[in-house]
Chains A and B, each alone.
Chain A
């Protein structure tokens, strides 16, 4: 898959994973993998930089909680993060519809 396309998709998937409620890095990675039936396996080397970038862009808010004697960082969507997610989802759907339309037409004609 085109890396530029994938880059935007990763952010969208992360935002979507977080949109269901406050969560943390490991759970996000597991959730994305589980929901995509193992198709998207977010590597930690991509996941955490993306999380921090989204946090810097104010799409995510974070807080720390004590769990089993460890500090855990929880992420949740900000208002602008919710809007960004909606925008990305709408763009993706339009993109997918367009691609599907072309592919479907080719299938029909072939």
Chain B
């Protein structure tokens, strides 16, 4: 049945046609027709009628086969058409562009040809004019032109200039013909176009116009179109002796062995009238650039005064003045970049490229340099100074004017990009080296400008991450290398390490302390641990009790261990940190866990984070109040109370004497002489911070029971003769003058008798 050629109406096969497409279509339709035929045959058994009915119902199978083929090929046909169309468009576009370029080039060639013709005509006319002129007589210092058109090519000479009659820059030389250097032959000088006799002769002297001659390493002249002019020759000319002049070429300049006074001259000739940039580089790397104007027929002779050699260096002891506490934290690094400052001679500036910029990094806490690096051809190796005593941490700087600038780097790594603050801000025009200081064998104490500090502080506050945000400040800080474990750790471990390290920072109050003694007894001496705190500051930690504080000891942690490890100086320990709770167990040998174990002498502390109120950066509580003699001195004197927290003024409950406090150095005494304690003022913060050893100093604070004395921490403001203090118990230093929550005292300075 159905011996039909279903594919008879299909187009010829194309290359991109799937190989089975035609067979698939034919088989599918044939199967359908066969099914229909069988069904129809079952109706009456007449095969011919069944076939007819099946085909009638189906329609034209060839047409359907063609439709299905087109449907399958549609996307390919359309793609082919689009590609053909695009190819055609590209070809047409390329032809159009080629035509346009060809037309433009033809126009340019025509213009060039025309210009050349005009130029040739002009030259011809000028030559004819010159031929009619008389031969000029040789005038001192003036160009001498050969007369014969058939003679040697036109050249001119320049003259040596005697000392004492040195021409002013830009003027003609005026040496008599007899003293002139023998004119070299034309073959030596070459040709010069008659219409462009411009000549530039340069003399180089050191420090003053009467100074000794200098031989620059290189002299170059660049025209406004960027074309560099070659120094044709340089001469070493005797000025006041009979020694015949020696001619030296740029690569072989030397004055050695010559007698008398010489001027070293560089000669540029064949200069088109233009504004040129002249660059001179000396042997020691100093260089200068200036503009020189060359006009038609105006030979110029310039004397260039060069600076003396700058090769001497002097040791300079540098330090940074005390920085505010928030900057003394681990995340900041102070850097001072230093380079030789340009020297000005007249209106010309001489910079130096041979003295590289040196970078000196400072410890923000001590203000001392910790490392020096200088850019060299082999990179910028860093010299670690931390092992040297403070007085030996010197920087060798070029003697003379030195320019410097500050840089403050915030050193979080991994998590955030490093923030860099520069002072002054560098820009393309000015690279920030605008402060100049004289370097000799001396000592500098640099101070970061207050407005710069404020700017950094503002920015840091604005970008302060939320407390849960890891603050991996110590990772890249060489000053805190010990904080991270020595062995390599993975990135997540580093992140955890830094997070834990950051969480440790600040003050922790001891709420329980026990020790495993040699005999196996556990001792819990409450009196000893009561009021005791631990401070973690950067990579140092120390204990404190009242105003007594232990020496800061370096510590390191390893968070990859379980429980985590902490090493405090020679002590080895384990620790657990859960929110505001910290448990530490340590001894000479590392305890196996967090609990005291028999046979292992160790101490175990349970600590709670000291809560600060509204501190701008709670973890930034300074671990120590560095003595600030300057600020402390400003508070010296007798202070009469004006107002107390309870609103009492002057003598309400206490006498003026009892309410008055007298500050002298780091001691403060109550007016009645019954109480004396230490005070510490830190003027590097805003507001200033004050620690007072005993609350009994301020009798009005608790006049009825002075025995309940305790150390106070607070902030202080000095405005003229008015002193305002906002105080709180130790560990709760207020961040601002908050009368709502903290007692605020106002004092007036007692006039001197």
Contact = CB atoms under 8 A, between A and B. Distances in A.
Given A71-B27, A73-B27, A44 B68 contact: no
Nearest to B24: A73
B71 A53 contact: yes
B58 interface: yes
Contacts of A70: 27, 30-31, 34
Given A26-B35, A26-B36, A44-B58, A49 B30 contact: no
A14 to B, nearest CB: 14
A72 B35 CA distance: 11
B458 interface: no
B291 to A, nearest CB: 73
Nearest to A41: B57
B29 A48 contact: yes
B58 A73 contact: no
A22 interface: no
A71 B30 CA distance: 9
Contacts of B59: 43-45
Given A52-B71, A53-B71, A73-B24, A45 B64 contact: yes
B108 interface: no
A11 to B, nearest CB: 15
How many B residues touch the partner, as a band?
Answer: 10 to 19
A25 B59 CA distance: 15
B629 to A, nearest CB: 80
B32 A26 contact: yes
B28 A25 contact: yes
Interface in B693-739: none
B72 A52 contact: yes
Contacts of B68: 48-49, 52
B52 interface: no
A55 to B, nearest CB: 10
Contacts of B28: 25, 48, 71-73
Given A44-B59, A45-B59, A48-B64, A71 B71 contact: no
Contacts of B64: 44-45, 48
B31 A49 contact: no
Nearest to B34: A70
Nearest to B23: A71
A71 B24 CA distance: 9
B526 interface: no
B67 interface: yes
Given A44-B58, A44-B59, A73 B72 contact: no
Nearest to B58: A44
A72 B72 contact: no
Interface in B35-65: 35-36, 57-59, 64
A48 B58 CA distance: 11
A25 B36 CA distance: 11
Select the residue from B28, B31, B58 with max chain A CB neighbours within 10 A.
B28
Chain B facing A: main interface SS: helix
B212 to A, nearest CB: 91
How many A residues touch the partner, as a band?
Answer: 10 to 19
Contacts of B30: 70
A40 interface: no
A44 B58 CA distance: 6
Interface string A22-38: 00111100000000000
Contact of A24 (B31, B36, B57, B58): B31
A52 B58 CA distance: 17
A27 B30 CA distance: 14
Nearest to B36: A26
A78 B406 CA distance: 68
Contacts of B58: 44
Nearest to B64: A45
A67 B28 CA distance: 12
Interface string A45-77: 100110011000000000010010011110000
A24 B58 CA distance: 16
Contacts of A53: 71
Contacts of B67: 45, 49
Interface in B363-378: none
A67 B38 CA distance: 14
A67 B34 CA distance: 11
A97 to B, nearest CB: 34
Contacts of B57: 44
A44 B32 contact: yes
Contact of B32 (A25, A52, A64, A67): A25
B117 to A, nearest CB: 71
A48 B64 CA distance: 8
A45 B59 CA distance: 8
Contacts of B32: 25-26, 44, 48
Contacts of B35: 26-27
Nearest to A47: B32
Nearest to A26: B35
Contacts of A26: 31-32, 35-36
A73 B71 contact: no
A74 B68 CA distance: 17
A73 B24 CA distance: 8
Interface string A73-99: 100000000000000000000000000
Nearest to B27: A71
A72 B67 CA distance: 19
A48 to B, nearest CB: 6
Contacts of B24: 64, 73
B428 to A, nearest CB: 57
Nearest to B30: A70
Contacts of B71: 49, 52-53
A53 B72 CA distance: 9
Contacts of B72: 52
A81 B34 CA distance: 28
A71 B29 contact: no
B376 to A, nearest CB: 65
A52 B67 CA distance: 11
Given A44-B29, A52-B71, A72-B28, 8 more contacts: A25-B32, A27-B35, A48-B32, A49-B67, A49-B71, A52-B68, A73-B28, A73-B31
10 contacts: A24-B31, A26-B32, A43-B59, A44-B58, A48-B28, A48-B68, A64-B27, A70-B34, A71-B27, A73-B27
Q: Which 10 A-B pairs have the closest CB atoms?
A: A26-B35, A71-B27, A73-B28, A26-B32, A72-B31, A44-B58, A25-B32, A70-B31, A45-B59, A45-B64
